[in-house]
């Protein structure tokens, strides 16, 4: 850990009309520090094994520790606290500050998509990761393991989970993929979320998620995400990412989750959103493993192909009465170094055999995680682990929102034909026309927080360009009146092949 109280401190004069120059000099001092970084567009410092994003007050504190500001008054130098104007200018400079970019902190070695291993303590410019080892000894990674060593690595990794009642081989493969994602997550550009699903309470889904979180070294247990307010959900995600978490569990998720914001977090390396309780927009790295738990989890819209849903079923009325031979989470914490070594050994062995990623938006995840599960299972002859990729296809086919989307598009087509319309036109039709179809009104009300033009616009915008039964909703920008919408069908575009995804 860097000692911020080093003496002598840097010295920067504050001259009349010279705040901008002092801000640039402050940025230079921070850029030469070994613990100060640009975390997205935020200034952050590494303290121990934590990333701390600096608010105005915290940045003022840090600058006061590191830099002596002074004013020249006649023949005397007088000490000066960091000027508020300087602090604000430093924050406003964003990427022009020139600080090293940081995307995350790890406390164990990690394998990058190119196959190289990052393990040296401190900042690694190539990966933009900061390594702060949590223990004196590091995991052992077998470079070219034998089949027996691979079998032992798989046995070691699976030991805490062998008593859980996974429904299928694919669900076991999905769990193994979750563990590998926990180990590799900070190095992956993007990765799907993981859903832990069961038919009844007390089945162990939360425990499974906590064990995956323990693989990362730390995790946050959070309240379920809201399903009726996209704006609130986006702000929750921004607040979550501000802490640079390794793993987050949204527990007891209710309703059908269909979120453009969550989809963007999962498929982008940087997410831009608004801070909770403020109007400020911020940009933050997204490379943490996100998990959801719930009874009969339901994903809508684009979410089914962005979530690996793992299902367990104890097949008894009171699953919470079961007793395990070991405490899985404690076992992970006590044996984490060996478990991470086993996971990295499997990835290192499988990576030379991987092909191009099969899953759009998650190509590196498929190549390094899903294909590792399949290759190791086949190599050691243990076919009780299926392909995690298949769980995403299963989730997509089970999307409950597809029927709602079809009802919506058919209703819009019946009312507006292939002409353009605005959100307020749909609002007026539903509220002022007694002949509006009940099915259309019902589906719009179920998908919107309230029947206002803004809520209807957001609902329609989130469903743009998604094809179902030969229909899709197009969005047209209009500088004068705002977005306009239009429902297309196969009949409108005879030269375009549109896949019927409703069957």
> What pLDDT, in 10s, does the model give residues 439-468?
888 888 888 878 899 889 988 988 888 777
Report whether pLDDT(21) > 60.
yes
Q: Is the dihedral of CA 412, 418, 422, 425 positive or negative?
A: negative
Length of the chain: 503
Cα–chain center distance at 159:
27
pTM for the whole structure: 0.78
Going by pLDDT thresholds of 50, 70 and 90, the confidence category of residue 501 is: very low
CB 224 within 8 A of CB 254: yes
Query: Between β-strands 122-124 and 129-131, what pairing exists: parallel, antiparallel or unpaired?
Result: antiparallel
- 88-143 tens-digit pLDDT: 999 999 889 999 999 999 999 999 999 999 999 999 999 999 999 877 678 888 88
Lowest mean pLDDT among 138-152, 308-322, 342-356, 409-423: 308-322
Question: Where does 80-168 have alpha helices with state H?
Answer: 84-93, 147-158
Q: Which has the closest alpha carbon to 21: 10, 11, 12?
A: 12
- Closest C-alpha to 227, from 329, 113, 291, 303: 303
C-alpha closest to that of 326 among 315, 339, 335: 335
The full set of domain ranges for the chain reads 10-105, 147-397, 401-489
| 348: alpha, beta or left? (left if phi > 0; alpha if psi -120 to 50) | alpha
The CATH fold assigned to 147-397 is Rossmann fold (3.40.50)
Burial of 340 (0-12, 13-18, 19+ CB in 10 A): buried
How far apart are the C-alpha atoms of 247 and 249, rounded to whole Å? 7
Residue 45, pLDDT above cutoff 80: yes
Cβ partners under 8 Å of residue 311, min gap 6 = 166, 167, 168, 171, 197, 198
pLDDT for res 422: 92
Measuring CA to CA, how many Å separate 195 from each of 208, 299, 402?
10, 10, 20
Task: Report yes or no: 99 and 30 within 8 Å, Cβ to Cβ.
Answer: yes
Going by C-alpha positions, the residue among 248, 228, 229 that lies closest to residue 239 is: 248
DSSP 9-71: PEEEE--TT-HHHHHHHHHHHHHTSSSEEEETTEEEEEETTEEEE--HHHHHHHHHHHEEEEE
Q: Which two tokens stand for residue 93?
A: 């400079």
- Helix/strand/coil percentages in the chain, nearest 5: 40, 20, 40
- pLDDT (mean) for 75-92: 92
Lowest-confidence segment of 127-131, 191-195, 231-235, 492-496 by average pLDDT: 492-496
pLDDT interval class at 307 (50, 70, 90): very high
Q: Is the pLDDT of residue 277 over 80?
A: no
Residue 176 CA to residue 368 CA, distance in Å, equals: 12
**Residue 278, CA distances (Å) to 44, 94, 235, 238, 239 in order:** 19, 18, 9, 11, 11
Q: What are phi and psi of 76, to 5 degrees?
A: -115, 140
Averaged confidence pLDDT in the chain:
88
- What string of H, E and C letters represents the secondary structure of 196-262? EEECCCCCCHHHHHHHHHHHHCCCEEECCCCCCCHHHHHHHHHHHHCCCCCEEEECCCCCEECCHHH
Averaged over 364-379, what is the pLDDT? 96
DSSP run (H or E) holding 195:
strand 193-198
Q: What is the DSSP letter of 366?
A: I
Q: For residue 491, what pLDDT is reported?
A: 65
More confident residue, 301 or 347: 347
Phi/psi class of residue 125: alpha, beta or left (left: φ > 0; alpha: ψ in -120 to 50)?
A: alpha
As a whole number of angstroms, the distance between CA 458 and CA 98 comes to 37
217 near 336, Cβ under 8 Å? yes
The percentage of the chain sitting over the pLDDT mark of 90, rounded to a whole number, equals 63
Distance (Å, rounded) from C-alpha 285 to C-alpha 272?
A: 9
As a whole number of angstroms, the distance between CA 458 and CA 3 comes to 48
Per DSSP, which regions of 251-347 are E strands?
Answer: 256-257, 270-274, 281-285, 289-295, 298-299, 307-311
More confident residue, 6 or 190: 190
* pLDDT reported for residue 463: 84
Question: What's residue 300's pLDDT?
Answer: 80
User: Is the pLDDT confidence value at 5 over 90?
Assistant: no
Q: In this structure, are strands 117-118 and 220-222 parallel, antiparallel, or unpaired?
A: unpaired
- Strands 256-257 and 298-299, sheet pairing: parallel
Q: Are 14 and 75 in contact (CB under 8 A)?
A: no
What integer is the mean pLDDT of 427-436? 82
């Amino acid at each position: 850990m860097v000692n911020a109280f080093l003496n002598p401190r840097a010295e920067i004069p504050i001259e009349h009309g010279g705040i901008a120059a002092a801000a640039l000099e402050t940025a230079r001092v921070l850029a030469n520090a070994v613990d100060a970084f640009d975390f997205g567009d935020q200034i952050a410092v590494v303290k121990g094994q934590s990333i701390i994003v600096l608010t105005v007050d915290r940045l003022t504190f840090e600058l006061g520790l590191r830099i002596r500001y002074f004013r020249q008054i006649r023949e005397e130098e007088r000490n000066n606290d960091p000027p508020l104007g300087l602090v604000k200018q430093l924050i406003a400079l964003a990427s022009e500050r020139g600080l090293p970019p940081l995307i995350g902190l790890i406390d164990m070695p990690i394998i990058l998509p190119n196959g190289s291993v990052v393990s040296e303590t401190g900042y690694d410019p190539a990966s933009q990761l900061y390594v702060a080892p949590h223990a004196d000894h590091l995991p052992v990674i077998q470079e070219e393991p034998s089949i027996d060593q691979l079998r032992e690595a798989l046995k070691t990794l699976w030991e805490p989970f062998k008593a859980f009642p996974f429904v299928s081989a694919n669900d076991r493969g999905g769990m193994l993929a979750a563990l590998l994602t926990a180990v590799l997550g900070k190095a992956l550009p993007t990765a799907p979320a993981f859903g832990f699903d069961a038919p009844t309470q007390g089945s162990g889904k939360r425990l499974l998620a906590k064990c995956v979180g323990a693989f990362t070294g730390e995790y946050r247990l959070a309240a379920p995400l809201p399903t009726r307010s996209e704006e609130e959900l986006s702000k929750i995600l921004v607040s979550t990412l501000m802490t640079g978490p390794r793993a987050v569990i949204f527990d007891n998720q209710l309703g059908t989750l269909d979120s453009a914001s969550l989809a963007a977090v999962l498929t982008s390396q940087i997410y831009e959103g608004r801070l909770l309780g403020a109007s400020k927009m911020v940009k933050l790295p997204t490379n943490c493993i996100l998990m959801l738990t719930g009874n009969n989890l339901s994903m809508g819209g684009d979410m089914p192909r962005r979530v690996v849903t793992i299902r367990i079923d104890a097949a008894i009325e009171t699953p919470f009465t079961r007793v395990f031979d070991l405490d899985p989470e404690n076992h992970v914490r006590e044996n984490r170094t060996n478990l991470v070594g086993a996971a990295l050994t499997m990835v290192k062995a499988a990576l030379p055999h991987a092909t191009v990623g099969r899953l759009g938006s998650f190509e590196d995840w498929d190549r390094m995680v899903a294909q590792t599960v399949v290759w190791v299972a086949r190599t050691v002859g243990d076919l009780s682990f299926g392909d995690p990729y298949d769980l995403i296809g299963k989730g997509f086919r089970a999307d409950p929102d597809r029927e709602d989307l079809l009802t919506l598009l058919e209703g819009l087509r019946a009312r507006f034909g292939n002409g353009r319309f605005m959100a307020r036109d749909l609002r007026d039709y539903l509220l002022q026309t007694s002949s509006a179809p009940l099915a259309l009104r019902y589906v719009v009300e179920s998908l919107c927080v309230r029947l206002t033009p803004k809520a209807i616009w957001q609902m329609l915008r989130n469903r743009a360009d998604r094809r179902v039964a030969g229909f899709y909703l197009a969005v047209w920008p209009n500088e004068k009146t705002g977005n306009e919408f239009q429902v297309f069908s196969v009949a409108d575009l005879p030269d375009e092949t549109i896949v019927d995804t409703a069957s």
